[in-house]
Amino acid sequence: MKPLLRSFTMFVGQVFKDTMLIAVCIATVFTAFFIRFGIPSIETLLCDSMGKAVILADYYLLFDLLLALVTPYMLCYASAMMMLVEYDENIAGYLTVTPVGKKGYILSRLVFPTVIAYIVSIALLSWFSLTPWPILNIFLTCLLTSIAGISMALLLFSFSHNRVEGMAMAKLSGLLMLGLPVPFFVFSDIQYLFLPLPSFWIAKFCIGQDFIFLIPGFLSSLIWVFLLYRKFDKKIA
């Protein structure tokens, strides 16, 4: 246990030495403040200028979901970037043959940051949401978005050789979020073209408050993690 904690402490220290990664982590808080206070202000200005009662208010839930998804994406992105640095410098290979081992490396670099992202997501969604949320829905939604964050981190690390490629791949991984607005704007069966995306089922669950959507949500998330982890594991080995 001590080698694992030392490995995680070293990881956190490396993140805090990187200005860009610090900014990425802090950006989640700024996003929360902007959604909670900026979006209602923009709504007021738009309604006053256009003479309408409601413009953005009907989509407040979408902004909440964006916050729930962006938080683990940002934190897992920071984790993936640091793993790429360690891979490039062969630190990852070194740690896997120390008492930390491959399993400990994965726990300290991927699982622990995801758990932290889950806790932060719950806190931010509880404090900064624009719509009322049942506490159970917050826990379940943040669990799904955190698993999606793991998928993003696995995608970045597995298909990138360095941080520059990782930043480019991060733009591509944003497509995983594309399913989030679909149920809000597409009402025909065409929307089910996005069913492979976990973000689509997250939105379906939160809009309909129907727990049946959790099943495909978890299944699609786990499939993404399973498929990406196989390449991740080969790269670590």
pLDDT, position 92: 65
Per-residue pLDDT of the chain (237 residues; tens, 9 = 90+): 676 777 778 778 888 888 888 888 888 999 999 999 999 999 989 888 887 878 888 899 999 999 999 999 988 888 888 888 878 777 766 666 667 677 877 888 888 889 999 999 999 999 999 999 999 999 999 999 999 989 888 888 888 877 777 777 777 777 778 899 999 998 888 999 999 999 999 999 999 888 999 999 999 999 999 988 888 888 776
Q: Determine the Cα–Cα distance for residues 4 and 73; give it in Å rounded to an integer.
A: 24
Evaluate whether 75 touches 149 at the Cβ level (below 8 Å). yes
d(CA 174, CA 170): 6
Q: What is the distance between the alpha carbons of residues 149 and 143, in angstroms, rounded to a whole number? A: 10
In angstroms, the CA 160 to CA 167 distance is 9
Which of 160, 11, 39 is closest to 88 using CA atoms? Answer: 160
pLDDT of residue 105: 77
What pLDDT shows up at residue 62? 94
DSSP state of 36: I
Domain count, the chain: 1
Structural domain harbouring 86: 2-236
Ramachandran quadrant class, 188 (left: phi over 0; alpha: psi -120 to 50; beta: rest): beta
What pLDDT is recorded for position 25? Answer: 86
- At residue 3, the pLDDT reads 67
* pLDDT attached to residue 5: 75
Read off φ and ψ for residue 195, nearest 5 degrees: -60, -25
Q: Return d(Cα 168, Cα 160) in angstroms, integer.
A: 9
Beta carbons within 10 angstroms of residue 193's beta carbon: 12
pLDDT value for 90 = 74
228 — phi, psi (to 5°)?
-75, -30
User: Among 175, 167, 154, which Cα is nearest to 225's?
Assistant: 154
* pLDDT (0 to 100) of residue 1: 67
Q: Is 65 exposed, middle or buried (0-12, 13-18, 19+ CB in 10 A)?
A: buried
For 206, residues 6+ apart whose C-beta sits below 8 A from its C-beta are 61, 64, 65, 137, 141
Number of residues that this document lists for the chain: 237
* pLDDT value of residue 163: 76
Handedness of CA 138, 182, 111, 167 (dihedral sign): negative
pLDDT of the residue at 208: 87
Q: Does residue 155 contact residue 169 with C-beta atoms inside 8 Å?
A: yes
